[in-house]
Structure 1
Amino acid sequence: MKLVAPLNAFGRGDLPTAGGKGANLGELVRNGFPVPRGFVVTTYAYERGRETRALPGDLREAITGAYATLGGGPVAVRSSATAEDLPGAAFAGQQDTYLNVVGEDALLDAVRRCWDSLYTERAVAYRAKLGIDDAGVRIAVVVQSMVEAEMAGVMFTADPVSGDRERLVIDASSGLGEAVVSGLVTPDHYVVLPSGKTDFTPGRREVVIRAATGGGVVHEGQAAGGGVVHEGQAAGGGVVHEGQAAGGAVVQEAGSGVERLPEEALVELVRLGREVARHFGRPQDIEWAYAEGRVHLLQARPMTALPPPPVGRLNPFQRRLTTVLMEYLPERPYPIDMSTWLPYGPAGLMGKVMGTFGIRRAFDGFLQEEDGVVYRLLPPSPRPTVKVLATPFRLLAKARRYDPAHWTRDRRFLDYLAAVEELGARDLRAMPWAELLRVPRQALALVEPVADLRVDYLPGTGLALLRLLVALRLLGRRALFGDLLHGARTRTSDTNRALEHLAEVARRTGIQEAEFRQELAAFLKEYGHRETVSPILVTPPTWADAPEIVLGLVRALAAGPPERKEPGDALERLLALSNPRRRARITRWVKAARAGVAFREDSHFYFMMPQPIVRRSLLEMGRRLRESGVLDRDDDVFHLRLEELERIADPATVESGPLRELVGARAAKREELSGVRLIDPAAIFPPAETGDALVTGAAAGGGVASGPVKVIMEPAGFDRLEAGDVLVCPYTNPSWTPLFQQAAAVVVDTGGTASHAAIVAREYGIPAVMGTGRATSVLKDGQMVTVNGDAGTVTGAP
């Protein structure tokens, strides 16, 4: 319960006492890193002194005594909150720092002002954004001897732009490092490559911040007409607040000579940076200073919002597989996704299918976690086994035995439907906690036999499609392939027709009338389990969970679909060229291919049925934990893994502190990564020479069309699409396809020519460009463009 203690009294485990900055600096001191001498005014002191304007006598004596031990000279006074300098919560610039503080009275005043900065408007707003409870936050203050820096700045032990962990990035400038940290200066920029070579870009030194005699800081800059002026001295100590030093204007520096950090100092800085990162086990953001031939470390904290490392060169199979995964992962999975639907749902099923035919590790470890949160998509590296040699024979055998046209009569499928209906009918609210805990595993177990149906019926699907494609090539009619498959009736096409019917009712009665409400209820009962965002995640809502998404689709369709020329009957055109025997054979092959398409679509439709059961059971657990005071919201349960939930014997008696802390840390980490992609799209969709095109991608067919851009990032924006718009979106799934009736064309960041969006776009006869990687960031609402689905380009239009 000490009020004040030297830095070496603390380590990384002393966050509650020393705050993030103090704990990290103490850890560095303990391990022999060159950190200026100092002490910490602990959070206990904050508790003692925050309620009174005058500091208690014993606290004043403790602070001034520690100051005297440092020699009583100029010091830097830095805030160190318990919620800052952490993985997922840097709090950079949120609390105050005071430089070159001289004298006991100035020091005590600076400590008081650091405490006050804990509750500034910006700090409170930042914590609210991260979901950090103000009631649990405390603040310590770090006091260190000032370093009269000749040069100073910031070092990142990984490239903050590319995420490359083998590159170090150093920004430096003359004088105190606050000029670099606060953005007042264009710094010298060093990039240290793995080979040891350093790329150097000189800065401008618009301003130099130096310690002033008697306390405070001055800004040296270029005055109008030339010459050097000194401004910015603050009585007793300078304050740096979100990059602005109190009491001084920013002016231009005189002189144009290029200064550089001495080579030996750069080498030492790189060595220290790598050792600090190794010690803490993660890339670090380090503030440093160079003075009198020595490098000093002033602060170290985990790098936040760091992109994942580059994936390197991918082979064609990896690129194709990752294209699919990117389309399935438009948002970051939660821990509950990682322990439930992700390994058991469609991704897990396909991994099992590929394993059956001799391909191991198809989807193993393709998502990597950090601090319990997914931070990286790593392209899978499937491995063939000896079993793959027998795969062609096994595929042919299964194709002969299992006809996709009859899969819904399979006893395994009928038993599956009955089991899903029985589990889905149970009253989750009435269940005791122990019974409720079993429901997710029961629902996931229902999915496991489904892989056997995929294994058995997909070979027939593949054979039917391949046979038809080969026949069309031999007949010189390859272009009819997509049109021939268009006649397949699927649960997706049923869904779209049902939505069209809803739109007709809405046009006739309005969405508030009883007739429409009854029709909507019937629609949701039949199709409400459809995913809104991703088929491999359990956390996003389904249509039944978010009926407003369905209403958005209905409003878009009710506005009236654009007139579109329907393609003629491709089968009739093909058969007209054939003799009777060939016509009969081609007709059989087309029907078999359509049955295969229907199996692929419909099996997905039915196999998603357990997903809402899993989600509802998890949210019911979340509701009970919220009512017990363990969670703040029902959906905070998504930040926990299933096995962590299963360890809770009773929500009413569980110790809430550790769980709340775990959820809070993961929520903060997830918020930190909110603007960071799981993988760089350029690795999957390499930039191509665009010529006069705004963006390019995979040519998914459909001809050419022009119209105004409408960027829709998520299902909540469905009702923004108007007839004739060019739909530009980050991904698609079956929930998006009704929009294709309205759109003049579709342009997607992810996906390929075989993706769901491309297939449906061709069915509707609209141009589609897939896998652009960046269309949603390049194209803007209202921008007139021409989409060429045959060339894979989007160009400007009058």
Structure 2
Amino acid sequence: MAGGKGANLGELVRSAFPVPDGFVVTTHAYDLVAQGRDTRAYFEQAELPGDLRQAIADAYAALGGGPVAVRSSATAEDLPGAAFAGQQDTYLNVVGEPALLDAVRRCWGSLWTDRAIAYRAKLAIDESEVRIAVVVQSMVEAETAGVMFTANPVTGDRTQLVIDASSGLGEAVVSGLVTPDHYVIGPSGPAGFTPGRREVVIRGTAGGGVTRESGAATPAEPLPAAVLDELAGLGRQVAAHFGRPQDIEWAYAGGRVHLLQARPMTALPPPPVGRLNPIQRRISSVLLEYLPERPYPIDMTTWVPYGPAGLMGKVTASFGMHGVFSGFLREEDGVVYQLVPPKPHPGAAALLAPFRLVARARKYDPARWTQDPRFRAYLAAIEELAARDLTSMSWERLTAVPRQALALVEPVADLRVDYLPGTGLALLRLLLAVKLLGRGRLFGDLLHGARTRTSDANQALERLAAHARRTGALDADPMPADFAGELREFLAEYGHRETASPILVTPPTWADAPETVLSLIRVLAAEPPAPKEADDALERLLRHPLLRSRGGRARMRRWVEAARAGIAFREDSHFYFMMPQPVLRRSLLELGRRLRGAGVLQQPEDVFHLRLEELESIKDVATLTAEEAERLRETVRARAAKREELSGVRLIDPALVFPARETGDALIAGSPASGGVATGPVRVIREPAEFVKLGSGDVLVCPYTNPSWTPLFQQAAAVVVDTGGAGSHAAIVAREYGIPAVMGTGKGTSVLEDGQVVTVNGNAGTVTRAT
């Protein structure tokens, strides 16, 4: 009835905050006039019913008939995730009944401006549900006015308030016409002050309306300490009352502070997490690489806790280390808004971990893990579940499929617990051996050469690219049958691979987005990959004087093969571990399709805004009550709006995870991850859809990588990544392909630009302008 702004002001009045007197022209009044019309021109000329005109006139007279501020108050505005700041109109210093009625009409009409309609469409707000009220307040002829944020909008610090102030009416500050005085108030008082410039001062005029004048002659005096203290105290009380940080407009006049409106702060960064220790930075760098996009609620209740992150949490916990990959994402209003670096801590089992590691390493050989009966049973269970026809299932059976898919990953977790110790010890043994021989630099090269499912996929892609290059299949319409058949076979074998993240279920797989695969084929087909040099690292090692004996050479070969088998196990177990994910995703989208058919969702993907338990609580989509359907719609709308609000807010400040390094004359610096120096033009690739942009000899600059990106390394001269470290996917692949890599730059994709020619030094971890 009162709209978002009116409802919030009513709360402030009820709690005795210093709010100017006023009244609300409710949404019911809007409906009386609207009669189904939805154009601005109609409302600006509309005749108000006589009783409505009289009610507004009486309320205006009760205020004293003096100057008032007339503000829009739409039903969807000032809600968490949908601030609507500036979308509807405000009129200041309105004087007289005719001017007031005209301002009310214009506020109604502002609901139907192009900008307001576009904003609602962006937030998927149903136009038929939108109404607007109008708030009329006694005008405060402010000496000083502005805006107060009850949390720092830049750092996210909830213990600080930020106050912007300037002379005259606050409209100059709100609309950005002036550089205001800027105050930062900490828990114990003022923590910072930057004087403004008062370019413009807005004041009311005697006959109504406002005037703008130069502020050059206005004394630039800061707010008195007592006023700052009062504002800060009121701000903290208002935030506590609404239970969340607030954006408050205020005015100071005649020795009094007035609160003109309050709404939830939007796009607020997460609270600072403080300095990170090296372990937290290392874990966070892995998580950032795995989280190129914000998880949805369905991710948080399915693949995040059960997928690779949950799996590794189970593995580390089995050896007594807890909290490594759990509880690292925080939610607000049902949407993930912050990555909190985990704080691993050992449990009592950690004391026995070394003995368990050795015992498992002796019992479980990574070279034979695919012969384990548990693995064969896992593949059979995956095949059976994937073959089910989801479209023919009843709602009850369909809602059980996600849990069944998640249950399938348990055996792989157990396999990793058993076989990773053998991998770790094989790698440690080889590392110690080559270091004792003085050949430590060969360690990374010695690990290359293991056959993995990723290398199999890359070779299959190269064959498809060679076919396309030879026949022009990619440019033919329709695609030739033989090439289309080979592509189908490829997707049947490798289509469950992730395009964006292994720990989220919402991004599409290769099979869901075959255009990603076609982009990779197009990149490879554009120019044949340069032939790789033969890997002679093992032969170079075997020429060591201490390895002349037949037994010593044979032992070293076994150790290298064991280490390679360990690397293959790590890679291949992930490959197989991802196989339930497409089944899970398909089942969720089928649930979404049925909810769309019932009028609950606008599109099947909207189901991602719901949690798994919320879907399971629906007994039958066919018997949903109108109330239940509306509750689900509103949940989806609110979370979608919140997600949109946070679209420009990072889960964590990358500078905390990747501290600034001394760069000298470098454009950016990071961790050296693959040696060598290369020069080429920058090509920023932010997502798989942009793969086709990469040309041979380009410097690949990206926010993250995963196995889907591997074929690009055959064309790139070097790789520069915002996230990750020397042990991440991009670094390992770069070393295998012999190209320089710089990881963990934190800001490579925002600093470097397409076409810029740079030199990447993988030894020093720097990127400089090419000379």
Query: What TM-score, normalized to structure 2?
Result: 0.96
553-562 or 626-635: bigger deviation: 553-562
For residues 194 and 683 of structure 1, the distance between their equivalents in structure 2, rounded to whole angstroms, comes to: 23
Shift of 1:213: 0.1
For residues 649 and 394 of structure 1, the distance between their equivalents in structure 2, rounded to whole angstroms, comes to: 46
The C-alpha deviation readout for 1:71-117, integer Å capped at 9, x for no partner, is 11110000000111111111111100000111111111100000000
Kindly report which structure 2 residues correspond to 1:741-760, keeping only aligned pairs within 5 A, or say none. 741-760=714-733
Aligned position for 1:733:
706
For residues 154 and 533 of structure 2, the distance between their equivalents in structure 1, rounded to whole angstroms, comes to: 48
The equivalent position to 2:7 in structure 1, one of 13, 23, 26, is 23
Aligned position for 1:154:
147
For residues 653 and 497 of structure 2, the distance between their equivalents in structure 1, rounded to whole angstroms, comes to: 29
Aligned position for 1:647:
617
The residue matched to 1:204 in structure 2 has which SS? coil
Shift of 1:562: 5.0
The residue matched to 2:208 in structure 1 has which SS? coil
Kindly report which structure 2 residues correspond to 1:279-678, keeping only aligned pairs within 5 A, or say none. 279-509=241-471, 510-511=473-474, 512-561=479-528, 563=530, 566=533, 568-577=535-544, 578-579=547-548, 580-654=550-624, 655=626, 656-678=629-651
* Alignment gaps of 5+ in structure 2: 36-42
Aligned position for 1:189:
182
Contact 2:530–2:714, Cα closer than 8 Å, also in 1: no
CA separation of 1:766 and 1:561: change in aligned 2, threshold 3 A: farther
For residues 298 and 134 of structure 1, the distance between their equivalents in structure 2, rounded to whole angstroms, comes to: 28
For residues 198 and 735 of structure 1, the distance between their equivalents in structure 2, rounded to whole angstroms, comes to: 48
The residue matched to 1:648 in structure 2 has which SS? coil
For residues 363 and 530 of structure 2, the distance between their equivalents in structure 1, rounded to whole angstroms, comes to: 44
For residues 372 and 741 of structure 1, the distance between their equivalents in structure 2, rounded to whole angstroms, comes to: 41
Shift of 1:258: 2.0
Letter in 2 for 1:297: L
Shift of 1:568: 3.6
For residues 537 and 658 of structure 1, the distance between their equivalents in structure 2, rounded to whole angstroms, comes to: 26
The residue matched to 1:336 in structure 2 has which SS? helix
Letter in 2 for 1:763: E
For residues 669 and 31 of structure 1, the distance between their equivalents in structure 2, rounded to whole angstroms, comes to: 27
For residues 542 and 563 of structure 1, the distance between their equivalents in structure 2, rounded to whole angstroms, comes to: 28
The residue matched to 2:110 in structure 1 has which SS? helix
Matched, 1:178 2:151: no
Shift of 1:166: 1.2
The C-alpha deviation readout for 1:660-705, integer Å capped at 9, x for no partner, is 1110000000000001100000000011111011111110023110
Letter in 1 for 2:409: V
For residues 520 and 413 of structure 2, the distance between their equivalents in structure 1, rounded to whole angstroms, comes to: 32
Aligned position for 1:262:
224
Q: What percentage of residue pairs aligned between the two structures are identical?
A: 75
Aligned position for 1:230:
none
Matched, 1:163 2:156: yes
For residues 406 and 717 of structure 2, the distance between their equivalents in structure 1, rounded to whole angstroms, comes to: 40
For residues 275 and 469 of structure 1, the distance between their equivalents in structure 2, rounded to whole angstroms, comes to: 60
Q: How many residues align?
A: 751
Letter in 1 for 2:208: G
Contact 1:702–1:761, Cα closer than 8 Å, also in 2: no
Aligned position for 2:39:
none
Aligned position for 1:773:
746
Shift of 1:767: 0.4
Contact 1:561–1:741, Cα closer than 8 Å, also in 2: no
For residues 360 and 695 of structure 2, the distance between their equivalents in structure 1, rounded to whole angstroms, comes to: 46
For residues 155 and 508 of structure 2, the distance between their equivalents in structure 1, rounded to whole angstroms, comes to: 33
Aligned position for 1:8:
none
Shift of 1:564: 5.9
For residues 527 and 487 of structure 2, the distance between their equivalents in structure 1, rounded to whole angstroms, comes to: 19
The C-alpha deviation readout for 1:399-451, integer Å capped at 9, x for no partner, is 00000000000000000000000000000111111111100000000112221
For residues 261 and 70 of structure 1, the distance between their equivalents in structure 2, rounded to whole angstroms, comes to: 29
Letter in 1 for 2:539: E
Shift of 1:321: 0.6
Kindly report which structure 2 residues correspond to 1:20-99, keeping only aligned pairs within 5 A, or say none. 20-51=4-35, 53-99=46-92
Aligned position for 1:236:
none
For residues 531 and 767 of structure 2, the distance between their equivalents in structure 1, rounded to whole angstroms, comes to: 21
Shift of 1:508: 1.6
For residues 702 and 347 of structure 2, the distance between their equivalents in structure 1, rounded to whole angstroms, comes to: 38
Letter in 2 for 1:553: L
Aligned position for 1:244:
none
Contact 1:562–1:724, Cα closer than 8 Å, also in 2: no
Shift of 1:255: 2.5
The equivalent position to 2:761 in structure 1, one of 775, 783, 788, is 788
CA RMSD of aligned residues (A): 1.0
Matched, 1:201 2:194: yes
The residue matched to 1:192 in structure 2 has which SS? strand
604-613 or 364-373: bigger deviation: 364-373
The residue matched to 2:390 in structure 1 has which SS? coil
Contact 1:567–1:765, Cα closer than 8 Å, also in 2: no
Contact 2:683–2:699, Cα closer than 8 Å, also in 1: yes
Matched, 1:705 2:672: no
The C-alpha deviation readout for 1:597-647, integer Å capped at 9, x for no partner, is 000000000010000000000000111111111110010000000100111
Shift of 1:31: 0.8
Contact 2:310–2:326, Cα closer than 8 Å, also in 1: no
For residues 637 and 486 of structure 1, the distance between their equivalents in structure 2, rounded to whole angstroms, comes to: 42
Aligned position for 1:249:
none
Shift of 1:305: 0.5
The C-alpha deviation readout for 1:353-383, integer Å capped at 9, x for no partner, is 1111111222232100000000000001112
For residues 382 and 453 of structure 1, the distance between their equivalents in structure 2, rounded to whole angstroms, comes to: 23
The residue matched to 1:652 in structure 2 has which SS? helix
The residue matched to 1:259 in structure 2 has which SS? coil
Shift of 1:567: 5.2
Aligned position for 2:38:
none
The residue matched to 2:370 in structure 1 has which SS? helix
The residue matched to 2:708 in structure 1 has which SS? coil
Contact 1:149–1:175, Cα closer than 8 Å, also in 2: yes
For residues 681 and 397 of structure 1, the distance between their equivalents in structure 2, rounded to whole angstroms, comes to: 40
For residues 33 and 298 of structure 2, the distance between their equivalents in structure 1, rounded to whole angstroms, comes to: 42
For residues 198 and 673 of structure 1, the distance between their equivalents in structure 2, rounded to whole angstroms, comes to: 27
The residue matched to 2:391 in structure 1 has which SS? coil
Contact 2:144–2:169, Cα closer than 8 Å, also in 1: yes
Letter in 1 for 2:146: G
